[in-house]
Amino acid sequence: MDRTGHTLEELYQEAFTLGFDKRRVDRLVDHFEIAVKFLVHKIDTEGWMWRDNYLREHVGCAFRTGFTNTVSPIILELLFRRYPQWRKYRHTNQRTLL
């Protein structure tokens, strides 16, 4: 589901319906930020490809945070609102999985 047209309020409300309060969502966005910085560096320097799944696994393992795959698209959209320049990596470097 594309969430680019959603307001911040709508994104936080959707996360809340999944059991995540604003503080927890913001903390996850901060954790994803660290993982995205690493991934973007690897894309630029070593030709890695964008993987949402990599980001979820990295954040889950590195920060021992529990969250579901249903909330990670919300987290990514909030992160892209902070750093719009990263959105291009997701759309131009993602391979199609068969």
Residue 85 lies in domain: 27-92
Residue 39 lies in a domain: yes
Reported residue count of the chain is: 98
Residue 72 has a pLDDT of 84
Residue 33 has a pLDDT of 93
Quote the DSSP letter at residue 94: P
Residue 16 lies in a domain: no
Placement of tokens 């987290």 in the chain: 75
Per DSSP (E only), the strands in 16-75 are none
Placement of tokens 């979820």 in the chain: 56
Count the domains in the chain: 1
> Are 28 and 78 a contacting pair, CB within 8 Å?
no
Choose among 81, 66, 6: nearest CA to 31: 66
Residue 92 has a pLDDT of 60
Residue 96 has a pLDDT of 41
Residue 98 has a pLDDT of 33
User: If 0-12 CB within 10 Å is exposed, 13-18 middle and 19+ buried, where does residue 34 land?
Assistant: middle
Residue 18 has a pLDDT of 87
Residue type (1 letter), 24: R
**What's the mean pLDDT in 12-38?**
90
Residue 6 lies in a domain: no
Residue 13 lies in a domain: no
pLDDT (tens digit, 9 = 90+) per residue, 47-96?
A: 899 888 888 888 888 877 766 678 888 889 999 999 999 988 887 655 54
